Amino acid sequence: MRIESDSLGKVSIPSGAYYGPVTQRAVENFPISGVQFHHGFIRAYAMIKRSAAVANVRLGGLDPKISKAIVKACDEIIAGKLADQFPVDVFQAGTGTSTNMNLNEVVANRALEIMHKRRGDYKTINPNDHVNMCQSTNDTFQCAINIAAHIAIEERLVPALAEYERAMARKAREFSRIVKTGRTHLMDAVPVTLGQEFSGYSVEREMRLIRAASDELLKLHIGGTAVGTGLNSYPKYPPLFLKELKNVSGHSFKKARNNFEMTQNLPAIAETSSALRQLSIKLIKTMNDLRLMSSGPHTGIGEIILPAVQPGSSIMPGKVNPSMPEALTMVCFRAIGNDSTILMCAQGGQFELNIFGPIAAHCLLESIETLSNSLVVVTKRCITGIKPNRKRLEYYFEHNSEIATALSPLLGYSKTAKLVKEAERNGMSIRELVIREKLLSKKELDEALSQSRLTKPDLPIER
């Protein structure tokens, strides 16, 4: 152990640790969940420390040698090194001061090492005075959330969604001529093509919502410091910071119009989570449909065949379950739960600050990561391999009394309804009953009940 001091007194710290006394106190104070922040968030925070060091040396506030050492330390963290040096629980004191100081201390001690100084020599490089220069937890923590979430969405979630969308579109085209029984209220309805049904599984609208929310994440209130006024910062600090942040992140972040709104609220974070909730709702519905359509396969609906990816039972030999849709559905449940947590966080701020950033950060980034990962595997291991069960589809189509709806313009609603009831009562198909009763000629019947006319309402019916 080594002894360091903070404003509350002396603290014993593991000798091999790069973090310092504030981090150690947080580790001792908050042994709550054992869950630490995702590397994407730590990486984004290191980008902030790096960009601040470059901006501050250009403004004349930071010694170039110290800045260079800080930049090098941050580069190591961005690359994934020192990952075990961020032990603070996601459930911690509000705002995220413990995590901000965790970054400050690790960067300071690694920078000291780079300058051939001993860890804890805070007179040479100080976590607060040097690494945290022109910053407060109150602006940097939320900015780190925005940066991490935007990068994860653009580099992981959007590509995963795009590939899922392409896979569904390919299936819609592949199944465009396969007619099947439609269902409303879980009951038989007029026919659709399997391709039309799959076209409804598009996530194009949800992608637009997510991209719009991601654009809002680009707006940072960096330099607002404690309450948005910019106390202890430089007026020229934000543009210099943002220029360097673009260099290191590859994304064009920009200055928020109103520091005070951003410090008091979590607007872009809540908006992004809401978009993820909308996506989750769509995906749950789609996965439920796939599970139902593939159910059975002998005593269920069994209209489609999902790829078998693993045995489905430890006791029933040969059983195969819809494992991939099940996994994605659970991820979506979690994302909706995370959105509820973020909703509570967003409304929970008071006066000049919303203090609930830590758990909001964890929930948002977890949702983005798990949705991205699950979409990739569901697309690859399920969607692309779906096959139609043509015999079952044809059987259901022929025995669906609701195709009689196409006869209403010719026979009238009431008469057609009686035909449906009689067909069901006698176990006959509509086609058989109409021919028996000589209500239409075979040519008229074939035209009215042709698969193309049933699934393309733009074709007129001659009366």
Per-residue pLDDT tens digits for 380-400? 999 999 999 999 999 999 888
- The backbone torsions φ and ψ at residue 330, rounded to the nearest 5 degrees and listed phi first, read -65, -40
Dihedral angle, C-alpha 282, 283, 287, 289, nearest 10 °: 10
Alpha-carbon distance values, 119 to 67, 113, 271 (Å): 17, 7, 41
First to last CA, the chain: 92
Burial of 452 (0-12, 13-18, 19+ CB in 10 A): exposed
What is residue 462's predicted lDDT score, i.e. its pLDDT? 42
Q: Write down how long the chain is.
A: 463
- The per-residue pLDDT for 198 is 97
Q: Return the SS3 of 185.
A: coil
**Structure tokens, 162:** 């795009």
Give pLDDT, residue 449: 87
Asked about 214 being catalytic, the answer comes back as no
- Residues in the chain, pLDDT under 70: 457-463
E-strand stretches of 314-407: 387-388
Spatial separation of the C-alpha atoms in residues 198 and 196, rounded to whole Å: 5
> What is the pLDDT, as a whole number, of residue 94?
87
Domain annotation for the chain: domains and CATH numbers = 16-133 (1.10.275.10), 139-218+260-388 (1.20.200.10), 399-455 (1.10.40.30)
CA distance 100 to 138: 10
From the CA atom positions of the chain, what is the Rg in Å?
A: 30
Dump pLDDT digits (tens) for 92-138. 998 999 999 999 999 999 999 999 999 999 999 999 999 999 999 99
**Nearest alpha-carbon partner for 203 in 159, 249, 161:** 161
pLDDT (tens digit per residue) in 195-234: 999 999 999 999 999 999 999 999 999 999 999 999 999 9
Check 313, 340, 441, 452 and give the catalytic one.
313
